[in-house]
């Protein structure tokens, strides 16, 4: 790694001031992506501002029909939190599908969606659950938040404080892991809000996206039969050494059906 | 340079470290605790697994300064004054190793796994060790060692 300085501010305002003063500074939370990127010299920040312990970014709480998750919540904390198990078990399922135990003990949900890796898992849940991303200065709807590969609506000096999820009637996530890296080759999150069904797809395209045709079909009837003949167009999907676009389209279609089947198993519907 | 205070294997340490120092380098190069290995250096193989406040983490992907105020336990700090920790004992008895390079990481990951699941299923064992690679392909005996250690620790309780 190139040299840098490390700072651990005591409060969010301190972190914001430091971040605003240096365009080459980067925020550090779990570091599960940033530190490997720095070791590969793909990133060379002048300073790291460690926000993992900021009190403003902690905690998981329920308020009415929403669940708020502090940005510094670690994957493992989300996977095992009793409130998540009670009102949004599919989110625990997403957290549990990430990386390995050591990675889940460090990685944070805020880091995952700030980085917005095309193969990250949480973006699928954030988008399908119509989450609201609360930052130090505003609230951003998930539909406006994800803008492209590693690109979000965040300003360079903006900090995510918490993610507020709408609690669905039921939901599930199905993911096809890359056998070596564990990243999603395709991951599909289905959320049933009664009136509407939302479907988020990660891993298949340059950025997470909603699969509108699947949403329309599942809104009419949330059952595998409703998806007969439904396919995802490979246009614009990722094609790389791991899989061509047509293969990812097929994987996404299979993961969609698995997620729907999982919802049915859970509810006995 | 920044002053870092932490506990390693029960002993308090105050050291001046370069900001970019990785925890694994601090343990190995500054404190001489070379039981923690660097395998891949890309947070995949798990050879560098240590406990940070009781939780298994990969010390090659953690800055030493991120461990400020924390309690770190390495493979050297696991065994009691005399003898071996039950997980070490089980890896030895079941021959859960061939070359031994991955073993310290496997053992540190296993102790965290057994703290979460004292009577783990085969699936929980595989998931719990998903972050640790054995290139001698010795997983069968490693899984047997985890089961044996779990049984021994439950008996001891």
Mutate to test the interface with B, among A34, A38, A102 (most CBs of B within 10 A): A102
More confident call, A173 vs A264: A173
**Among B135, B83, B75, B138, which residue's Cα sits nearest to residue B109?**
B75
By residue range, what is the domain housing residue A234? 170-267
Q: Is residue A212 part of a domain?
A: yes
**Tokens 């996206």 belong to residue:** A209
Instruction: Spell out a b/e string for A239-264, using b for 16 or more CB atoms within 10 Å of the CB, else e.
Output: eeeebebebbbbbbbebbbbbbebbe
Reported as a single tens digit per residue, the pLDDT across A146-173 is: 999 999 999 999 999 999 999 999 999 9
All residues of chain A having their beta carbon less than 8 Å from the beta carbon of residue B112 are 101
Provide the whole-model pTM. 0.95
Residues 6+ apart with CB under 8 A from A104: A74, A75, A76, A79, A95, A96, A98
Nearest to B57 among A1, A8, A106 (CB): A106
C-beta separation of A264 from A169 below 8 A: no
Please count the other Cβ atoms lying within 10 Å of the Cβ belonging to residue B104.
25
Q: What percent of chain A has pLDDT over 70?
A: 99
The residues pairing with A6 across neighbouring beta strands, listed in sequence order, are A48
C-beta separation of A224 from A191 below 8 A: no
Average pLDDT over residues A91-108: 97
The residues pairing with B100 across neighbouring beta strands, listed in sequence order, are none
**Tokens 């029960």 belong to residue:** B10
Distance CA A69, CA A59 (A): 6
A102–B43 C-beta distance less than 8 A? yes
Task: Looking at the complex, report in whole angstroms how far the Cα of residue A222 sits from the nearest Cα belonging to chain B.
Answer: 30
Specify burial of residue A235 (Cβ count, 10 A radius: 0-12, 13-18, 19+): exposed
DSSP, collapsed to helix, strand or coil, labels residue A152 as strand
Distance CA B80, CA B83 (A): 6
Task: Looking at the complex, report in whole angstroms how far the Cα of residue B61 sits from the nearest Cα belonging to chain A.
Answer: 6
A-facing residues of B in 18-47 (CB < 8 A) are: 18-20, 41-43, 46
Say how many domains are in chain A. 2
Q: Which residue of B has its CA nearest to A106?
A: B57
Average pLDDT over residues A110-139: 97
What tokens does A181 get?
Answer: 């890296």
Dihedral, CA of residue B15, residue B19, residue B24 and residue B27, to nearest 10: -10
C-beta separation of B118 from B110 below 8 A: no
Domain B86-156 coded CATH 1.10.150.120 = yes
A103–B43 C-beta distance less than 8 A? yes
What value does the mean pLDDT of chain A take? 96
Domain B2-77 class? Answer: alpha beta
Specify burial of residue A265 (Cβ count, 10 A radius: 0-12, 13-18, 19+): exposed
Average pLDDT over residues A97-112: 97
Distance CA A232, CA A209 (A): 12
All residues of chain B having their beta carbon less than 8 Å from the beta carbon of residue A103 are 43, 58, 131
**Among B15, B58, B127, which residue's Cα sits nearest to residue A30?**
B58
Residues 6+ apart with CB under 8 A from A204: A185, A186, A232, A237, A238, A248, A249, A251, A252
Distance CA A118, CA A55 (A): 29
All residues of chain A having their beta carbon less than 8 Å from the beta carbon of residue B42 are 36, 39
Distance CA A167, CA A17 (A): 34
Reported as a single tens digit per residue, the pLDDT across B32-73 is: 999 999 999 989 999 999 999 999 999 999 999 999 999 999
Distance CA A160, CA A255 (A): 29
Instruction: Report the relative pairing of strands A160-166 and A151-152 from DSSP bridges.
Output: unpaired
Return the CATH number at A36: 3.30.43.10
Residue-level length of chain B: 157
**Among A173, B137, B142, which residue's Cα sits nearest to residue B128?**
B142
Q: Is residue A233 part of a domain?
A: yes
Q: How far is CA A131 from CA A116, A146, A226, in A?
A: 15, 12, 26
Reported as a single tens digit per residue, the pLDDT across A188-222 is: 999 999 999 999 999 999 999 999 999 999 999 99
Size of interface A-B (CB pairs under 8 A): 70
DSSP conformational letter for A168: P
Distance CA B12, CA A239 (A): 51
Average pLDDT over residues A68-80: 98
Return the CATH number at A223: 3.30.390.50
What value does the mean pLDDT of chain B take? 96
Distance CA A26, CA A44 (A): 9
B113–A102 C-beta distance less than 8 A? no
Nearest to A102 among B18, B46, B65 (CB): B46
B61–A106 C-beta distance less than 8 A? yes
Domain ranges of chain B: 2-77, 86-156
Q: Is residue A133 part of a domain?
A: no
Predicted local distance difference test score (pLDDT) of residue B137: 75
Q: Which residue of B has its CA nearest to A2?
A: B20
Query: Phi and psi (nearest 5°) for A169?
Result: -65, -45
Predicted local distance difference test score (pLDDT) of residue A268: 58
Specify burial of residue A95 (Cβ count, 10 A radius: 0-12, 13-18, 19+): buried
Mean pLDDT is lowest, of A31-35, A65-69, B134-138, for B134-138
Distance CA A61, CA A84 (A): 9
Reported as a single tens digit per residue, the pLDDT across B103-127 is: 999 999 999 999 999 999 999 999 9
B46–A31 C-beta distance less than 8 A? no
């Amino acid at each position: 790694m190139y040299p840098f300085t490390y700072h651990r501010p005591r409060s969010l305002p301190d972190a914001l001031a430091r971040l605003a003063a240096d365009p080459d500074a980067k925020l550090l939370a779990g570091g599960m992506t940033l530190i490997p990127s720095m070791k590969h010299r793909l990133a060379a920040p002048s300073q790291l501002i460690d926000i993992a312990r900021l009190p403003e970014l902690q905690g998981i709480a329920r308020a009415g029909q929403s669940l708020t998750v502090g940005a510094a919540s670690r994957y493992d904390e989300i996977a095992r939190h009793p409130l998540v198990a009670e009102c949004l078990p599919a989110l625990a399922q997403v957290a549990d599908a990430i990386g390995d135990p050591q990675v889940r003990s460090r990685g944070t949900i805020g880091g995952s969606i700030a980085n917005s890796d095309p193969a990250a898992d949480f973006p699928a849940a954030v988008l399908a659950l119509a989450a609201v991303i609360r930052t130090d200065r505003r609230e951003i709807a998930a539909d406006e938040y994800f803008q492209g590969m590693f690109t979000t609506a965040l300003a360079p000096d903006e900090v995510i404080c918490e993610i507020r999820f709408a609690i669905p009637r039921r939901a599930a996530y199905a993911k096809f892991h890359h056998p070596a890296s564990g990243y999603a080759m395709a991951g599909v999150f289905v959320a049933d809000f009664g009136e509407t069904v939302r479907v988020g797809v990660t891993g298949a395209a340059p950025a997470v996206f909603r699969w509108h045709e699947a949403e329309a079909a599942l809104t009419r009837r949330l059952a595998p039969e409703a998806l007969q003949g439904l396919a995802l167009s490979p246009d614009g999907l990722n094609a790389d050494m791991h899989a061509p676009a047509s293969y990812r389209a097929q994987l996404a279609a299979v993961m969609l059906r698995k997620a729907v089947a999982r919802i049915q198993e859970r509810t006995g519907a | 340079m920044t002053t870092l205070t932490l506990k390693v294997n029960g002993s308090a340490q105050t050291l001046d470290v370069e900001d970019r120092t990785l925890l694994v380098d601090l343990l190995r190069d500054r404190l001489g605790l070379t039981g923690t290995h660097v395998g891949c250096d890309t947070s995949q193989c798990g050879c560098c697994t240590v406990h940070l406040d009781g939780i298994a983490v990969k010390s090659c992907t953690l800055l030493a300064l991120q461990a400020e105020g924390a309690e770190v336990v390495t493979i050297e700090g696991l065994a009691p004054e005399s003898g071996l920790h039950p997980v070490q004992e089980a890896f030895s008895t079941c021959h859960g190793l061939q070359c031994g390079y991955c073993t310290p990481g496997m053992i540190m990951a296993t102790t965290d796994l057994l703290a979460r699941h004292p009577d783990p299923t085969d699936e929980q064992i595989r998931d719990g060790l998903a972050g640790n690679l054995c290139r001698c392909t010795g997983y069968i005996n490693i899984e047997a060692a985890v089961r044996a250690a779990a049984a021994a620790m439950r008996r001891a309780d």
